Amino acid sequence: MDSYQARIEDLNSDILLSQAENIFRTTIDSSSSNLSDPRGIGEELAYLKEFCSKLKFQYLEQETRDKFLRLLLIEDNHNVSDEELDRIVKENVELKQALKQLKSEMENVLESSESTAEDVVKLSQAYQSRRIEVDQALADVENLQNELDSLLKVPENENHVTLFNVKRLIDTEDIGLDQAIEIAENEVVLEKRALSDLTGAIERAQDEVSTKDTFIANLLESLARLQTLVEQEEQKPKQKIEPKQAYAQWLRDLNSMVEKFVPIEIKIEIEKEGGSGGATTSTTISIANTKLKIDRQMNILQCTNSKVTSRLIAEVNCAEEDRKFWRLSQLLSEIIFEQ
């Protein structure tokens, strides 16, 4: 009796009857979504069997306790009559029969599941074994194909590629000489077509390289002119201006440089307090797929470019007022020429 009571108390700490359905469904969902190795099916079924066993003891214990407490504490008549006792016994027998039937159904399902799990494990093991053999066979075939390709690529064997393909067809197919010659002629036509396609691809690639070289040359020229303007700007005498004026001047200079030197589209969106008539709160600069958001003090609030690290952002935000414009412009230049 003491061991049974200890088992019941242990079950009480693990499972609540109201949580049984949720626990069972959660276990099933977790098993079906996370089980990657069929050999773990047996462990999952063993866990569910133990769970059902605990649930049976928990149900009997809670049901008996609830009825006993209801008779003692809730009903006016504290004495249990023979009729009440007979009714309880009859109800208990019916519940036991229903529970026994459910238990039998559960055992049948578990037995079927265990049998299916064993079949799945056996099939998985056979598949793994067969897969190793197939992978090895494919590797051998690939090695042979590579060896054959290397032999055919030797200069003295280039003239025998078509003949080799024809011989392979003659050896594997029941065809005559006329058909072999026709196949050889078709092979020559296909080779010429492939050569023509490759020649066209090479010409297109050369045109693309030439276009990119011209684009890079234009960018370098624009960069040199931009650097000259920056150096001239740095040589001008420094004037103490208000932050709002510096921010507005920086936006005007940025727009001017973008229109003159940058060959890609750049959008500048200004956010203001209370609509268009309010003070500027932040500015978003969009360069291709990159969005850079800054405030009125030219501090970076957000950047969607993964190559702009937190260290680069900190260098801009922590720079002195007379250097912040240069640091922010340099960062924008790097983002532009990265595209």
Q: Give residue-wise pLDDT tens across range 247-300.
A: 666 666 666 666 555 556 667 777 765 555 556 677 888 877 888 888 877 788
- Residue 315 C-alpha from the chain's centroid: 32
Q: Is the pLDDT of residue 83 over 70?
A: yes
**End-of-domain residue from the set 211, 236, 261:** 236
In Å, how far are 66, 69, 89, 91, 256 from 80, measured between CA atoms?
15, 12, 12, 15, 97
- Residue 269 maps to a domain: yes
Same domain, 203 and 248: no
Same domain, 37 and 124: yes
Q: 128: pLDDT confidence band, cut at 50, 70 and 90? A: confident
Estimate the crossing angle of helix 2-14 against helix 41-69, to 10 degrees: 110
Same domain, 247 and 210: no
* Mean pLDDT on 27-43: 59
In Å, how far are 13, 23, 24, 91 from 47, measured between CA atoms?
17, 12, 10, 31
- Residue 136 maps to a domain: yes
Same domain, 330 and 209: no
pLDDT of residue 5: 41
For the chain, the first-to-last Cα distance in angstroms comes to: 79
Same domain, 42 and 60: yes
Of the two residues 63 and 123, the one the predictor is more confident about is: 123
pLDDT tens digits, 146-155: 877 776 676 6
In whole angstroms, give the CA distance from residue 319 to residue 327: 8
- Residue 157 maps to a domain: no
Same domain, 232 and 257: no
pLDDT of residue 10: 47
**End-of-domain residue from the set 236, 263, 281:** 236
- Residue 155 maps to a domain: no
Query: What does the block give as tokens for 318?
Result: 């922590």
pLDDT of residue 16: 52
Same domain, 6 and 123: yes
Same domain, 7 and 135: yes
**End-of-domain residue from the set 194, 220, 236:** 236
Give the chain's domain count: 3
Same domain, 327 and 300: yes
Same domain, 255 and 308: yes
**Which residue range is the domain that position 188 belongs to?**
174-236
pLDDT tens digits, 169-212: 555 555 566 666 777 677 778 778 888 888 888 888 888 888 87
Q: Is the pLDDT of residue 301 over 80?
A: yes
- Residue 79 maps to a domain: yes
Same domain, 106 and 215: no
CB 263 within 8 A of CB 215: yes
- Residue 162 maps to a domain: no
Q: Which residue has the tokens 């090695």?
A: 143
Q: What is the pTM of this model?
A: 0.27
- Residue 305 maps to a domain: yes
E strand or H helix that includes residue 2: helix 2-14
- Residue 146 maps to a domain: no
Mean residue pLDDT across the chain: 71
Same domain, 225 and 284: no
Q: Is the pLDDT of residue 168 over 50?
A: yes
Alpha helix (H) residue ranges in 79-176: 82-152, 161-172
